[in-house]
Amino acid sequence: MKWLWVWCLLLCSVAVSAQSLRVGFGSHKPPYIFENEARGLEYDIVMAAAKRGGLEPVAYYAPMERLNRMLSKDQIDVMATTNESSGGAIYYSDTYIRYQNVAVALRSRNLDIQRISDLARYSVNAFQRARLLLGNEYQAMTEANPRYREEAFQIARNRMLYSGRVDVVVTDMRILRYFNREVYTQVDVTQALILYPIFAATDYKLGCRQQADCVRFNQGLAAIRLSGEYTAIERRYAMH
């Protein structure tokens, strides 16, 4: 009888551990991800959908390039803020969030940017894996532009933009505006900017090693949309 009880406990333990989901999030990028606070628009959506799908998500944070390697090495189960354009032999969830990236420059630079290919004439700094996520025309531009760089940390993009160390940054404006609060004592964030809306919105998904994790996440995502929880999360971060 004692051994039967121990065996039952072991089975329960295995069942519980099987529900765990190691979720890889990119480094600190408010208002989407507040790395040291376990919150953010994107973080809250992913965690809520995973939980509603019967999973037990645990967050891991790293730059996007490192997350991609961690996923390939089975160090995490799923990776946030990705899609099929990123590549890799993994499964993808339904879209859970949409970013609207823009090209941004100081107005004083008076740049002529009508389309993505025009960026090839300028020094450009973007987020990691932008070359894969923003479409074929963008990728061709990055390959033709020796002054193109990708940077893991958004705060560095703000500093480079306002200090004039780069002509153009590619970013989501909600993130850029948020980090202005952190760099205003270092650079002049009152300088006029010009936005070049040359990108379509980017739909982001979870990249999953196991198809079953994507299925359960999708079920949870549908549930929080239906219940109104998704809208409530959006409202929490509307001020950003």
Q: DSSP per residue over 133-162, as a string?
A: HS-HHHHHHHHH-TTEEEES-HHHHHHHHH
Query: 120 near 146, Cβ under 8 Å?
Result: no
Same domain, 106 and 224: no
Per-residue confidence (pLDDT) for residue 90, from 0 to 100: 87
| Residues 30, 149 share a domain | no
d(C-alpha 26, C-alpha 204), whole Å: 13
pLDDT given at position 41:
97
Of residues 9 and 234, more confidently modeled: 234
Question: Do 111 and 84 share a domain, yes or no?
Answer: no
Structural domain contains residue 47:
yes
In a domain? residue 7: no
The per-residue pLDDT for range 20-59, each reduced to its tens digit, is: 999 999 999 999 999 989 999 999 999 999 999 999 999 9
Residue 2 domain-assigned (yes or no): no
Whether the predicted pLDDT of 18 surpasses 50: no
Question: Is residue 54 situated within a structural domain?
Answer: yes
Mean pLDDT of the chain: 92
Instruction: Judge whether residue 3 has pLDDT over 50.
Output: no
Residues 88 and 150 in one domain: no
pLDDT of residue 6: 37
Q: Rounded to the nearest 5 degrees, what angle is found at the Cα of 19, between the Cα atoms of 15 and 22?
A: 140
Same domain, 184 and 213: no
What local confidence, expressed as pLDDT, does residue 88 receive? 76
Q: Let me know whether 36 and 117 are in one domain.
A: no
Find the domain containing 139 and state its range. 101-196
What single-letter amino acid sits at 16?
V
Statement to judge: residues 111 and 161 lie in one domain: yes
Looking at the 3D structure of the chain, how many domains does it have?
A: 2
- Residue 162 and residue 44 share a domain: no
* pTM, to two decimals: 0.87
Dig out the tokens for 232 from the structure: 């409530």
Residue-level pLDDT at 76: 97
Does the pLDDT value for residue 2 go beyond 50?
Answer: no
- How far is Cα 141 from Cα 123, in angstroms, rounded to an integer? 11
Domain CATH for 108: 3.40.190.10
Q: Do 169 and 224 share a structural domain?
A: no
CA distance 229 to 164: 42
- Which residue in this structure is represented by tokens 């700094």? 125
Contacts of 149 (CB under 8 A, 6+ apart): 123, 124, 125, 126, 166
Q: Which of 98, 77, 100 is nearest to 205 (CA)?
A: 98
Are residues 106 and 190 located together in one domain of the fold?
yes
